[in-house]
Amino acid sequence: MEHSVLVDELKRRYQSASKSEVALSIHLFGIEFADALQGASVHLIAEEATGHPSYGTEIRKGMRLAKYVQLKTEK
């Protein structure tokens, strides 16, 4: 997956999340796109999408959780 696509997706999720669920939406992004994010600069993606490079740490948390959780789909 291209860098710009990952940035756009994270930006969309970041902007649509309620203030109390921003970190959660970033964790879910990391879980869902863990494979595509391997080898990518998550701090750069976070900075370009949110203006906060420190959210790269939150993306990494989601990536580490990915092997232990399965996302639910809405019905």
Name the residue ranges covered by the structural domains of the chain.
3-65
Over residues 16-70, the pLDDT tens digits come to 999 999 999 999 999 999 999 999 999 999 999 999 999 999 999 999 999 999 9
Identify the DSSP state of 40: S
Compute, in degrees rounded to 10, the torsion defined by CA atoms 33, 26, 28, 43: 30
Cβ neighbour number for residue 71 with a 10 Å cutoff: 8
Encoded tokens for 55: 């959210």
Distance CA 52, CA 47 (A): 5
What is the structure's pLDDT at 1? 85
